[in-house]
Structure 1
Amino acid sequence: MRLTFLGTGTSFGVPQIGCDCAVCHSADPRDRRTRVGALVETDAGRRLLIDTPPELRLQLVAANVSGVDAVLFTHDHADHTHGIDDIRAFTARSAGPLAMWASPATASALARKFPYIFDDAMRALPGTFKPEGRLHTVEEGETTTIAGVDVTAVRVPHGFAEVHAYRIGPLAYVTDAKAIPDAAVAVLRGARVLVVNALFRTPHPTHLSIPEAIDAARAIGAERTYLTHLTHRYSHAELEAELPADVRPAYDGLTVEI
């Protein structure tokens, strides 16, 4: 299995609009962080896209991705969904809608926000194209085969939002979590690679801090952990120097073999 980090930044992205900090003006390309998204490629060549962030088109072009087999959503916040229109490039060349998986609450929100994608009665005019998706739901604790790999959903708290973390074969993928409850740890434990959000060194009301993310990594026990959803407060080099050897900051375009 191969994991590619398409985007690793917070909802603001890095550089942040109007910011004059050193990280926002860094010459290190690893400090340019678009909104969070990822791509999982199976050994059989199937591709599972995790979330559709606003820079999705640019991310897919940069990663040379010409098609995906399914989309898996963590939750319905704008920085994880508002690039959904870019799936049009896939469905314009396909015979049918793209399968999209999410919790029932997230699926309902997507259908409400983007009816033109999911309502079969809303057809594109002749000679034009629209993105076409087919929503499927995955319940907490349920294991579903998506794009040829078993995916198990677990709920993690994120303020008022419902967020799904996922066990995807040997990968544990957690983003926008304030904590990882024991029930989620039990499902994610033993994954070879863990991806987990980490915001500040100090506590945040809706996200794991960097120390909390490290503690979560120890509880889950992955061989390697990659931090994502990173801010402009810390450069890649700075984080890399201070983190434990088995915990690394992710960056846009990083590919990991699992």
Structure 2
Amino acid sequence: MATSNGFVDGTSPESALIFLGSGCSSMVPNVMCLLQPSDPPCPVCVQSLSIPPERNPNYRSSFLFFHFFSLSRNFLKISICRCNTSLLIDYCGDANAGDRKYILIDVGKTFRETVLRWFVAHRIPRVDSIILTHEHADAVLGLDDVRAVQAFSPTNDIDPTPIYLSQHSMDSIAEKFPYLVQKKRKEGAEIRRVAQIDWNIIADDCNKPFLASGLKFTPLPVMHGEDYICLGFLFGEKNRVAYISDVSRFPASTEYVISKSGAGQLDLLILDSLYRSGSHNVHLCFPQTLETVKRLCPKQTLLIGMTHEFDHHKDNEFLMEWSKREGIPVELAHDGLRVPINL
């Protein structure tokens, strides 16, 4: 398993994880750093606006600006900094048969921007299924734009995209997006083109896995604040991967499933880390994240969900020293990162 910062052909025979977003709910740049800049200005937010995303690991937001590339490339470059956390699994179930499935975890506020930037760059042609961690804005407010990655039909006569989510998330989404949930039009109602979705309820239980586009996922219920359960997911048989984007505490039953001292060592842990220092009531922050990594002891860890307090280069230098000392490789992920992996 290795990371790759370049634009890679999505038709390669190997499975891969593509980080569509690595930023927190408020994204990077931080709006207040632009409206009321400090003196000197915030270096991370300034960099996120001044360097193209494919050369900028401090890229984790939905702020757009445009600058033209050379005419020989013949396209408009759109810079979108650190976006809401989201992962695309480019799953190669049977390399000999060319069987590829594209499984998306979370569809947040920046979904359309991530499609424009990273689906195009990585040549992702579609979405085969979607899994939701929870129903907060940074995980679901892009649901309306799912129609952008579906076949066009003014009468909605297309195969729906399956979405897997908890009952609590389903209840909330039914209120936010009733037109995506309703099965029948009311008498006399006009046909309106909307995303076609097949809703599938999953249990928030480590003992009740489910299949999405042929890949098995195990729900990992975690606390996202003491009054709220969010789901992470364990997947992969040849390499075990855990994706946990929004967590403040691990229940013992969940920790057992993903710890070296429990059910077995993870090959890759993708984990929440909100602030560079201190603590937060509903997220892990850097000090707690690193303690969690030591406790779970995965073979490799990539961090997501960072605010503008994190500088990718400087903090990865710190993590390089930490990793040598602790014997556990840890790095910050970034938007557009592609990790080839055998699932």
Q: TM-score, normalising length from structure 1?
A: 0.93
State the shift of 1:222 in Å. Answer: 1.9
State the shift of 1:178 in Å. Answer: 0.2
Matched, 1:84 2:143: yes
State the shift of 1:17 in Å. Answer: 1.1
CA contact (8 A) 2:126 2:150 kept: no
Matched, 1:50 2:105: yes
Match of 1:241 in 2: 317
Q: Give RMSD over aligned pairs.
A: 1.8
Taking every aligned residue pair, what percent have the same amino acid on both sides? Answer: 27
CA contact (8 A) 1:92 1:131 kept: no
State the shift of 1:66 in Å. Answer: 2.4
Write the letter of the residue equivalent to 1:250.
A
Supply the distance in 1 between the matched residues of 2:173 and 2:86 (Cα, whole angstroms).
17
Structure 2 residue aligned with 1:106, among 161, 169, 175? 169
CA contact (8 A) 1:116 1:122 kept: no
Supply the distance in 1 between the matched residues of 2:185 and 2:283 (Cα, whole angstroms).
38
Matched, 1:221 2:297: yes
Supply the distance in 2 between the matched residues of 1:143 and 1:36 (Cα, whole angstroms).
23
Matches within 5 A, 1:159-238: 159=225, 160-169=227-236, 170-189=240-259, 190-200=265-275, 201-238=277-314
Structure 2 residue aligned with 1:153, among 209, 216, 219? 219
CA contact (8 A) 1:155 1:165 kept: yes
State the shift of 1:15 in Å. Answer: 0.3
Q: Which structure 2 residue ranges, 5 or more long, are not aligned? A: 1-14, 61-82, 94-99, 260-264, 324-328
Supply the distance in 2 between the matched residues of 1:164 and 1:211 (Cα, whole angstroms).
22
Write the letter of the residue equivalent to 1:205.
N
Supply the distance in 1 between the matched residues of 2:252 and 2:183 (Cα, whole angstroms).
41
Match of 2:76 in 1: none
Write the letter of the residue equivalent to 1:12.
S
Any idea what SS the aligned residue of 2:148 has? helix
State the shift of 1:61 in Å. Answer: 2.4
Supply the distance in 1 between the matched residues of 2:190 and 2:104 (Cα, whole angstroms).
28
CA contact (8 A) 2:216 2:235 kept: yes
State the shift of 1:220 in Å. Answer: 2.5
Write the letter of the residue equivalent to 2:232.
A
Match of 1:22 in 2: 43
Any idea what SS the aligned residue of 1:38 has? strand
Any idea what SS the aligned residue of 1:80 has? helix
Any idea what SS the aligned residue of 2:219 has? strand
Supply the distance in 1 between the matched residues of 2:253 and 2:273 (Cα, whole angstroms).
20
CA contact (8 A) 1:180 1:216 kept: no
State the shift of 1:125 in Å. Answer: 4.7
Write the letter of the residue equivalent to 1:222.
P
Task: Answer with 229-238 or 179-188: which moved more.
Answer: 179-188
Supply the distance in 1 between the matched residues of 2:255 and 2:148 (Cα, whole angstroms).
37
CA contact (8 A) 1:185 1:219 kept: no
Match of 2:9 in 1: none
